[in-house]
């Protein structure tokens, strides 16, 4: 079996299914991006396409967390949002540089994605997850985090 670039591990769980599911998807997408930067041939086009998919999904996922945090008046919202915004800004900057062919170092970007995601999940998202789990014990959290509502 080929070793995956990123692997979901239950230790990454923040205790909230919707967030965990999206993190699992994000890991899959990052693996696709990693594969895209290892492919020969139309490497540049393939990588940029995969990068766009990653950026779209990251935006969607951050949107979910953002909505949850605002709904519960999360006390650490500003800090958490700042981390998301800084990350998006950095990834967009790198994407822009690729598209303008200023630099081409796909491995560096994929590694940055991996390192940032793992540390953000382990610290910042876990803190949010723990807060939500504690809320659940005292209220109707399911209604709050239902993405369809
Ligand atoms: Fe987050």
Residue 100 lies in a domain: yes
pTM tops 0.75, yes or no: yes
Residue range 59-89, pLDDT digits in tens: 999 999 999 999 999 999 999 999 999 999 9
Determine, yes or no, domain membership for 28: no
Question: In angstroms, what is the span from residue 46 Cα to ligand 1's centroid?
Answer: 27
Report how far residue 66's alpha carbon sits from residue 81's, in angstroms, rounded to the nearest whole number: 7
Distance CA(20)–CA(121), nearest Å, equals 10
- CATH number at 82 reads 1.20.120.50
Can you give the pLDDT at residue 55? 93
Q: Is residue 9 part of a domain?
A: no
Domain span including residue 44? 40-145
- Stretch 121-136: mean pLDDT, rounded? 94
Q: State in Å: Cα 94 to ligand 1 middle.
A: 20
**Number of structural domains, the chain?**
1
**CA 43 / ligand 1 centre spacing (Å):** 30
> Does any domain span residue 112?
yes
Is residue 78 one of the residues assigned to a domain?
A: yes
Query: Is 64 inside any structural domain?
Result: yes
- Whether 21 is covered by a domain: the verdict is no
């Amino acid at each position: 079996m080929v070793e995956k670039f990123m692997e979901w591990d239950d230790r990454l769980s923040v205790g909230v299914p919707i967030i965990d599911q999206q993190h699992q998807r994000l890991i899959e997408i990052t693996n696709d991006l990693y594969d895209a930067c290892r492919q020969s041939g139309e490497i540049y086009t393939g990588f940029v396409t995969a990068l766009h998919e990653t950026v779209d999904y990251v935006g969607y996922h951050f949107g979910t967390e953002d909505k949850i945090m605002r709904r519960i008046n999360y006390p650490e919202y500003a800090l958490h949002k700042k981390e998301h915004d800084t990350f998006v800004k950095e990834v967009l900057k790198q994407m822009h540089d690729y598209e303008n062919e200023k630099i081409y170092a796909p491995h560096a970007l994929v590694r940055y994605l991996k390192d940032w995601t793992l540390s953000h999940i382990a610290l910042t998202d876990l803190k949010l997850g723990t807060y939500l789990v504690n809320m659940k014990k005292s209220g109707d959290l399911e209604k709050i985090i239902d993405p369809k509502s």
